[in-house]
Amino acid sequence: MATLDTQILPLLPLTTGVVLPGMVVTLTLESDDARRAVAAAESADGLLLLVPRLDGRYARIGTVAKVEDVGRLPSGLEALVIRGLHRAAVGLGVPGTGDATWVQVDSVVDVPPTERAHELAREYRATVENIVELRGIPQVAEFLRGISDPGQIADTSGYTPDLTFEQKVEVLETLDVQERLDKVLRWAKDVLADLQLKDKIRDDVREGMERTQREYILRQQMEAIRKELGEDSDENIAEEYRRKIEQAGMPEEPRKEAERELGRLERTSEQSPEYGWIRAFLDWMTEIPWNTRTEDNLDIAQARAILDQDHTGLEDVKDRIIEYLAVRKLRQERGMGPAEGRGSGAILTLVGPPGVGKTSLGESVARALGRTFVRVSLGGIHDEAEIRGHRRTYVGALPGRIVRGLKEAGTKNPVFMLDEIDKVGADWRGDPSSALLEVLDPAQNHTFRDHYLEVDLDLSEVLFITTANVSETIPGPLLDRMEVIRVDGYTEDEKVAIARDHLLRRQEERNGLRSDEVEITDQAIRSIVADHTREAGVRNLERELGKVLRKVATKIAAARAEVPVRVDAADIREYLGRPKFFFEAAERTSVPGVATGLAVTGTGGDVLFVEATRMDGSGDGDGLTLTGQLGDVMKESGQIALSYVRSHAGALGIEANRLGGRFHVHVPAGAVPKDGPSAGVTMVTALASLLSGRPVKSTVGMTGEVTLQGRVLPIGGVKQKVLAAHRAGLKEVILPQRNEGDLDDVPAQVREQIVFHPVETIDEVLAIALVGDDESEAGEAA
């Protein structure tokens, strides 16, 4: 900033505008003060000081201006043309000629601009050019290009209508050129952003209107073309829906709803969004099989043959399907009507470990009954709308999976499989298992109501089959509506038969082999079952068979073997490598303090080892440590086991001095969570073996809950546990006396190979499980 000489000039207040240096404007003389100031200017070489007046006070900086011309406007008002010259600091009032207000002013001019000021000036000029281009006044851009001084470029902001009176006063009072450019550039960018947004909105609206008009014209043309060709018009579409409604065989309530929506369709413009929604609803209503059924195959012998052909074992499920068919056959022959109806539907739930054939059994049941089959996986769903559908008020609404499954089946009496029902979740979107209560309740599902359709749908003729790995995670009210059938797994002989009759054929086809090119003996399959898979089902067995056949296919394709290729038990190591599983019970239980227990997991029965040890003089004092990710119930079983052993030490032949110290009970594997009371007898046996120094027999597995009085209480999962013991090579199984009746469920060939010991007290368990002194001496002599 540079200061010039001091002058005394008449003052002209401005209340509605600001005149910046370089501006040429026309002012009307509406007040006496203005007229007196102009008259006084004649004696001051035509110079005036223009000072904005804001909120009753004068700005500290004004503009020295020169009167270029004085005249009258067409309206008769006196006006003058003035040109802003430079800024000036307002000083004190002084006496002067006439009635005008005279003030002392110190004139101020801009200092030479910096390089940064030149950059800001160029950016400001470009921004203003964009603004005037959007407003359609390109001549302003030409005006700006004729100005090179940064300070003058900043002062052109006084012309813009986008700045307020206060902002223009701020520009006037900002003497530093770079700071002044910063301000006006920031404000100009705000204006440009606002204009660009408005321009985009205007373009979008115009484009939408043009598109709507274009679509309307095209639709009108299409309608005219349809009429000329005799194709479907709106009237023909309505007639087509009316014909479909008549043919669908809907009950009265759904038919009335469909006709009501059809009436809405006829009154709705084709351009309306509701037109498509109504058509989608009518499509669903007319495509649902309201009155389409398949005739059941009531030949019981043929149905049984189909079930046996598709699956080995699973007798309980097959018997239940045959019972279902037998009831239908008798009712039909005796004129009692179909078995289905209110409260009489069948809801079968197959619970068992993975790989036992639960899902594939549904297809087999449908084939045996002569019905269509549809499968819906429920694993991981969290939204109630997946079952009941979305209400039509939502954009993109659809019926739920039940209605979609019926449409896919094409009949109202399919075999409907709800897979993985134990893995249904729940969150803020609702609980799907609660919606399933109505679907799977035979007393309610004849009036199932989907949110999308909002009409009653009869599901009583559907044969629902649900599957689960465990029943504990199924909500109680839902489980109460199901007929649970346990599918506990296969014996070794059953696995060999399944592999020979089903898996081999499927894997040969997948690997491009013919049945006459490869021969896998039963002993080879048995070796795979025993040494390379240890599971309740046959999924890993099929995977290993596929691996063998791929290697056989490689040999045949490379001409390194002559067909047929024979695979025997001795060849399995070549194809699958070293065995993955071993019979480790003898090795693990060779020392006192380790007992073999039996458990049930989500993948079937399993063998677990309970290890116990004792530490003298532990710094932690007497007590019990339990490890292995045990649940609360299993931890309590450990406490009960130690209490029982300590209180019956004399009867167990345990010296009193061994009862002190700290005990540690561990149940491998440590990364797998475990819980339940059935390991109680195993923990007592492990502790008794540790303290008495007598090992546990390596051929014995055990299960049962124990009480403080030494009673052995019944447990669940007997069949799965016995099958696990058989897979592990155990020869004896100790179980509660009250579970003896559950052995009827165990396959006969397994019962023949295992000796069962039903017991009522822990004394009986220890007498059977622990090695006697004579047995120990015989073992040492051997």
Any idea which residues carry the catalytic annotation? 678, 721
Residue 432 has a CB neighbour count (10 Å cut-off) of 22
DSSP H helical segments within 61-149, as ranges?
A: 115-135, 139-145
- Using the 8-state DSSP alphabet, how is residue 694 labeled? P
**3-class secondary structure per residue, 266-298:** HHCCCCCHHHHHHHHHHHHHHHCCCCCCCCCCC
Instruction: Let me know: does 156 contact 22? Beta carbons within 8 Å.
Output: yes
Instruction: Let me know: does 327 contact 321? Beta carbons within 8 Å.
Output: no
Rounded CA-CA distance 33/672 in Å is 97
Rounded CA-CA distance 6/47 in Å is 13
Cis, bond preceding 728 (omega within 30 deg of 0): no
Helix (H, G, I), strand (E, B) or coil at 536: coil
Rounded CA-CA distance 373/165 in Å is 79
The set of residues, in sequence order, having a beta carbon less than 8 Å from that of 656 and lying 6+ positions away, is 649
Please give the single-letter amino acid code of residue 189.
K
Instruction: Let me know: does 414 contact 366? Beta carbons within 8 Å.
Output: yes
Instruction: Let me know: does 413 contact 461? Beta carbons within 8 Å.
Output: yes
Angle 570-576-582 (CA atoms, 0-180°, nearest 5)? 80
Q: Are strands 415-419 and 2-14 parallel, antiparallel or unpaired?
A: unpaired
Rounded CA-CA distance 692/660 in Å is 14
Rounded CA-CA distance 261/285 in Å is 10
Rounded CA-CA distance 386/379 in Å is 12
Q: What residues does 348 pair with on adjacent strands?
A: 465, 483
- Using the 8-state DSSP alphabet, how is residue 658 labeled? G
**Residue at token pair 């009496």:** 413
**Residues listed for the chain:** 782
Closest CA to 637 of 713, 701, 548: 713
Rounded CA-CA distance 704/540 in Å is 30
As given in the structure block, the two tokens for residue 439 are: 């679907």
Closest CA to 493 of 726, 318, 161: 726
Rounded CA-CA distance 109/151 in Å is 10
The pair phi, psi for residue 201, each rounded to 5°, is: -60, -40
Distances (CA, A) of 467 to 129, 347, 417: 72, 11, 8
Which sign, positive or negative, has the C-alpha torsion 229, 230, 234, 239?
A: negative
Q: What residues does 276 pair with on adjacent strands?
A: none
For residue 84, the Cα-to-chain-centroid distance in whole angstroms is 69
The set of residues, in sequence order, having a beta carbon less than 8 Å from that of 453 and lying 6+ positions away, is 254, 281, 284, 285, 288, 389, 399, 403
Rounded CA-CA distance 360/368 in Å is 13
Rounded CA-CA distance 567/511 in Å is 16
Helix (H, G, I), strand (E, B) or coil at 418: strand
Residue 696 has a CB neighbour count (10 Å cut-off) of 30
Cα end-to-end distance, the chain, whole Å:
115
Instruction: Let me know: does 448 contact 437? Beta carbons within 8 Å.
Output: no
Buried b (16+ CB within 10 A) or exposed e, 190-215: ebbeebeeeeeeeeeeeeeeeeeeee
